[in-house]
Every structure is written in structure tokens, then in C-alpha cells.
């Protein structure tokens, strides 16, 4: 009988089996795909859903995908019709306004049948190198409507009872710049969902359908209970904050996300009322994207050991007024919505920082991270006449937190992607990486220093090419918390260190499309660092000396920001440091 009791050991075994299945989906995609963004960057996410379209398990993939993936699954099923699914079917979609994120993120949804009954769904979302539109890479920084950003695919069956619908496939491939890559990568997504189907069926055959379904329900209930227990320890109240993006790529004016986090017992209401209206440029976050930014921040702020699934979302209510940058109306341009998600999560973190710290279960906080995906595209034609598109999203710094410095050279918390190895880039593209290093002084000073960002220089080896960038945090740097300083802003340059050095995107800082590049021209990208946490004058002087020794912090910053005096031999001058800090404190009064 369904709903029967299941012992905790079986629940844990089944839950672990589902998590392993979701991870294996990602491994399948990585091993069978063609594009570096798949098999090196891991810019994809995989999840297993129950028959009711609740996310029951996923691997350690991208939070920015996972919170919105259930939206796409629901849209796909509702529009196709649950009664029209057959074993072996797969639905494709990428429409941001049907639960998607932005057009390059393509979602595949596959039903899982057992003995004729629909028992669940496998779904994944992956970022493709190009889905058409105005510019290679499909990130048009000056887009004014979604139609300019690429091919928009509504929910449609691309696999029908195990057979590819070649008419639909050919229609898609005829509208993209890298059709061979896309076909291979799409089939890797199909294979990933087949892995999910196989693993779920294996569990059902071993434990029985009733037991597996009950374990799914218990695991989600447990996650909900655990996250509610943490929120219940926070004092009721309304906590407000805001954060801003540099501009929208059309008008050089900051646009602001305003948020009120209201704690009500064991739940929270995250209200974006007062947020700026949707913008003309591509910096709008559709509702699914916004939900991802909220969910991942609440999960990180409560207890990151809680198994992530739809149960974690139940205590969170989101109010996102339609027609704003966090819930735009169609056909708003939205390819840069991932940039707004970073603003959203940092604004929510900032609001949570208003909750008193002297409570039994304090909020897990960190200062602002790099706050951008640092989207950079280098494209053109090689000497063999073949088109190439490199998509890079280099790492930056995480914010400092209580008891620890921020992580350096790591992707923003919106994702769990990897950097593209220098060797992989130079083997596959007509490019050379001249420089790849941590940026000294990029982490915001604080008692707990912000993480360092990176600099990466690309030299074009093709006869000619183009650069497109769509990023943030050039004008408005990542904030510090509780007296910590801001992290260093981002920067994009052409021909660095030469008399011809100039900004790559002079008008908007980090938003420019199709900048022409000549043979052997160099593009330098410097990402933003994490904000500092706490007063820099409270940092252990020995830690500052160590940072200087490692090259993370300059001697000048040690003196000016931390009040630490280092002698000519690189050793701490204790008396000088004490006097310097006393003078700095006196100057604040």
C-alpha cells in the first residue's frame, strides 16, 4: 500500500541512489559532449523529479539552473500534455518565459515509465556555445528584445519513442553557428536523461515502486523540516537591502534590486517590491532565474548540508512584481539575466546581514562575491575557414565570512562550473593564453579578507576575430560587510601594457558586442574580487604579513588598509603596527 512506513536506512540508501544517479547524468554529459563548455566547463545541471514534477535529487551542479529547472519541467509537461508522453520521448525547450533562464540554456525533459506507468522525470539544462541571434555566442550586449538574442524553442518533442525527429533537429541546427557541436551536445543531454531513467528503474526494481516513492517524499519532507528549524531560530522581522548592476548596456545608469526578507516563524517571504522596472537592454532576470537566486541564497544561509530538493523551497515565498528587472514581461531581452541573479543573491545576503548575530542559529553570511559571470566571447574563422566561438566565464573572488577569508579564483556561488584549462583552449582554438594569474589586492580588506580574482590575457592567433563581453561589477564593486572594504572592480582592456592600451568596452564598462580584433591582438580580462568581512584593523597582523609574502596583498595595502608595518626584510614591525593602527583609529573619530 502506498504511503507505508519505510525505515530510515532504506530512505538513506534510496536517496543516495537518486543522488548518485543525478551525478551520473552529469558524468554522462561530460563524457559524450563535444563543446568545451560541456566537457571542460561543466556548464550544465541534472535533476531527477517525481511524477508530480517535484525535484527530488540533483548532483553538485549549478544553483542558478536548479532553482529554475522545475519551472521548465512544469511548463514542458503542461504544454505538451502529460497524456501525450510515451516511453522514449524527450522534450526540448529554451524559452526563458516558459520557465527557462536565457536562450543558450537548453532544457531536455524525459519521462520515466515503469510497467506502463509514468513514475518520474529526468531533466537537464546545459549552456550551448551558440543558439543563433545577432552575435556569435548569443550574448548580444545591446539587445532590446528577446527576438534578437537567438532561437527561441517552445516545449516540443525532439525524441519520439526513442527516435530523433530529424525535421525538428534540422530546424534547430539551421539557426545556429556551430551545428555539428550542437547536435552532439544535444544528444549528450538525451543520453544523460536516459541515465536517469535507468537508475530510477533500477531502484524501483530493487525496492519496489511504493518504497521508492515514499523515500522521495520523506527525503523532501526532511529537507523542509531541517530548513524550517533553522529559520525558526531567526527573530521575526522585516530586513531590507539593495544591490545594483552597473547599467543595462543601453543606458549607462545603475539599476537596482531592492529586497525585503520577512521572517515569519519558520518561513521567509522574499519581496522585491520597489525593484527598478525592466530595462531596455538584456539585463533582465525572468522569474525562474530570480527564484534560483533566492533559493540558493536561503539554502546557503541556513545549512548547506541539507539535501537540496523541492522540500527546501517550500518555506520560501517569493514576491516578484511583473514588469521589473526580476520578472520582466515578454519580449524583454534577458540573455544577461545571469548577471541580475548575482545582484539578487548579493542583495538577499545583504538583507540577511541585518538579522541580529547574537542568536542561537545565526545566519551563515559572507560579503559580496565577484557578482558576475564575466561572460566573454572570442569568435572568428581559423585559417582552415572553420568558425570558432570561445565562451569564457572566468573565476573571481568570494566574500569573506565569519572565521574565514573568501575563496580565491572560484566561480560565483550561482554556479559550480570549472575554469577552462589553458591547454584545452590552445589545443582547440586559434588563441594563446599569455597570462593567467591572481590579481594582487583584489580581495576586499577586512578582518577576514575577500577572495582574490583573476587576470587572463588572450592573444588572437587567427587572421582576425571579434570580442563580445556582457558582465558587471566594473562600475559598482562587490560590497564588504561589517566594516569590510569593497572588492576590486572588474576591468576589460585591449592591448594591455602597450601605448595602445584602451578599455574594451569604454561606454558601458563590461557590455560590448563584436569588437574587431586583429591578428595577435591581446584581450585582458580582470574579474572582480570578493568583499571583506569585518574591520581590517582587527585582522591578525601575522596573516597580513603572510598575504604580502604570498603576493595576495601589497605592502602598500598592508600599511594603508590594515595598518600593518612591514620592515625591509619582510618581517612584522610590531611597535610600528600598533602605533599605525592607533593613529588610524583616532582618525576615524
pLDDT value for 4: 63
- For residue 136, which of 496, 429, 527, 474 has the smallest C-alpha distance? 429
- Which pLDDT score is estimated for 489? 98
Q: DSSP assignment, residue 480?
A: P
DSSP E strand stretches across 10-155: 44-50, 55-58, 90-93, 105-114, 117-127
The tens digit of pLDDT for each residue in 104-118 reads 999 999 999 999 999
Q: Give residue-wise pLDDT tens across range 147-200.
A: 999 999 999 999 999 999 999 999 999 999 999 999 999 999 999 999 999 999
- DSSP code at position 330: T
Question: What cell does 216 get?
Answer: 522521495
Domains (range + CATH), the chain = 8-225 (3.30.450), 366-538 (no CATH), 540-588 (no CATH)
Q: What is the pLDDT of residue 1?
A: 37
pLDDT at position 162 is 96
Q: What's the pLDDT score for residue 384? A: 87
Contact in structure between 286 and 211 (CB atoms under 8 Å): no
Per the confidence metrics, is the pTM higher than 0.75? Answer: yes
Q: How much is the CA Rg of the chain, to the nearest whole Å?
A: 24
What does 15-50 look like in DSSP terms, one character per residue?
Answer: HHHHHHHHHHHHHHHHHH--SHHHHTT--EEEEEEE
Letter string b/e over residues 256-286, b meaning 16 or more CB atoms within 10 A of that residue's CB: ebbbbbbbeebebebbbeebbebbbbbbbbb
Which parts of the chain sit beneath pLDDT 70?
Answer: 1-4
* CA 243 – CA 412 distance, rounded (Å): 16
76-95 pLDDT, tens digit each: 999 999 999 999 999 999 99
Contact 43, 37 (CB under 8 A): yes
Amino acid at each position: 500500500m502506498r504511503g507505508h512506513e519505510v525505515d530510515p536506512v532504506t530512505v538513506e540508501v534510496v536517496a543516495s541512489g537518486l543522488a548518485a544517479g543525478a551525478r551520473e547524468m552529469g558524468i554522462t554529459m561530460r563524457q559524450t559532449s563535444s563543446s568545451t563548455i560541456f566537457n571542460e566547463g561543466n556548464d550544465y545541471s541534472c535533476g531527477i523529479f517525481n511524477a508530480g514534477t517535484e525535484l527530488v535529487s540533483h548532483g553538485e551542479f549549478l544553483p542558478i539552473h536548479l532553482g529554475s529547472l522545475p519551472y521548465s519541467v512544469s511548463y514542458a509537461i503542461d504544454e505538451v500534455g502529460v497524456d501525450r508522453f510515451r516511453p522514449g520521448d524527450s522534450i526540448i525547450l529554451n524559452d526563458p518565459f516558459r520557465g527557462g533562464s536565457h536562450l543558450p540554456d537548453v532544457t531536455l525533459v524525459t519521462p520515466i515509465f515503469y510497467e506502463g506507468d509514468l513514475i518520474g522525470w529526468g531533466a537537464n539544462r546545459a549552456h550551448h556555445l551558440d543558439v543563433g541571434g545577432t552575435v556569435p555566442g548569443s550574448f548580444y550586449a545591446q539587445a532590446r528584445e528577446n527576438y534578437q538574442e537567438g532561437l527561441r524553442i517552445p516545449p516540443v518533442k525532439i525524441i519520439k519513442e526513442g527516435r530523433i525527429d530529424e525535421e525538428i533537429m534540422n530546424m534547430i541546427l539551421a539557426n545556429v553557428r556551430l551545428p555539428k557541436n550542437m547536435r552532439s551536445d544535444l544528444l549528450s543531454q538525451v543520453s544523460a536523461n536516459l541515465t536517469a531513467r535507468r537508475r530510477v528503474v533500477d531502484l524501483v526494481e530493487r525496492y519496489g515502486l511504493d518504497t521508492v516513492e515514499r523515500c522521495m517524499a520523506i527525503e523532501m519532507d526532511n529537507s523542509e523540516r531541517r530548513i524550517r528549524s533553522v529559520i525558526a531560530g531567526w527573530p521575526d522581522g522585516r530586513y531590507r537591502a539593495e544591490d545594483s548592476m552597473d547599467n543595462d548596456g543601453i543606458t549607462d545608469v545603475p539599476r537596482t534590486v531592492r529586497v525585503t526578507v520577512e521572517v515569519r516563524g519558520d518561513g521567509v517571504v522574499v519581496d522585491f517590491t520597489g525593484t527598478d522596472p525592466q530595462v531596455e537592454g538584456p539585463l533582465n532576470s525572468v522569474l525562474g532565474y530570480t527564484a534560483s537566486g533566492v533559493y540558493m541564497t536561503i539554502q546557503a544561509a541556513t545549512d548547506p548540508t541539507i539535501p537540496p530538493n523541492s522540500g527546501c523551497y517550500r518555506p520560501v515565498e517569493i514576491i516578484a512584481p511583473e514588469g521589473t528587472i526580476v520578472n520582466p514581461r515578454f519580449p524583454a531581452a534577458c540573455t544577461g539575466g545571469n548577471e541580475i541573479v548575482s545582484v539578487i543573491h548579493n542583495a538577499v545576503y545583504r538583507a540577511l546581514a541585518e538579522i541580529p548575530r547574537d542568536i542561537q542559529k545565526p545566519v551563515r553570511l559572507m560579503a559580496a562575491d565577484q557578482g558576475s559571470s564575466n561572460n566573454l566571447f572570442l569568435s572568428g574563422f581559423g585559417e582552415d575557414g572553420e568558425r570558432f566561438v570561445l565562451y569564457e566565464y572566468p573565476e573571481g573572488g568570494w566574500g569573506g565570512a565569519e572565521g574565514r577569508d573568501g575563496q580565491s579564483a572560484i566561480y560565483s556561488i550561482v554556479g559550480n562550473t570549472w575554469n577552462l584549462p589553458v591547454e584545452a583552449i590552445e589545443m582547440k582554438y586559434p588563441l594563446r593564453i599569455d597570462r593567467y594569474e591572481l590579481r594582487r589586492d583584489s580581495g576586499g580588506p577586512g578582518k577576514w579578507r575577500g577572495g582574490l580574482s583573476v587576470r587572463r590575457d588572450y592573444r588572437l592567433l587567427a587572421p582576425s576575430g571579434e570580442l563580445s563581453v556582457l558582465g558587471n561589477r566594473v562600475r559598482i564593486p562587490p560590497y564588504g560587510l561589517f566594516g569590510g572594504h569593497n572588492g576590486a572592480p572588474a576591468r576589460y582592456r585591449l592591448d594591455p601594457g602597450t601605448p595602445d592600451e584602451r578599455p574594451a568596452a569604454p561606454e558601458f564598462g563590461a557590455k560590448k558586442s563584436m569588437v574587431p580584433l586583429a591578428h595577435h591582438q591581446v584581450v585582458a580580462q580582470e574579474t572582480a574580487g570578493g568583499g571583506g568581512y569585518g574591520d581590517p584593523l582587527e585582522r591578525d597582523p601575522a596573516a597580513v604579513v603572510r598575504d604580502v609574502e604570498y603576493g595576495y596583498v601589497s605592502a602598500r595595502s598592508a600599511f594603508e588598509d590594515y595598518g600593518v608595518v612591514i620592515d625591509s626584510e619582510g618581517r612584522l614591525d610590531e611597535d610600528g603596527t600598533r602605533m599605525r593602527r592607533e593613529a588610524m583609529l583616532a582618525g576615524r573619530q
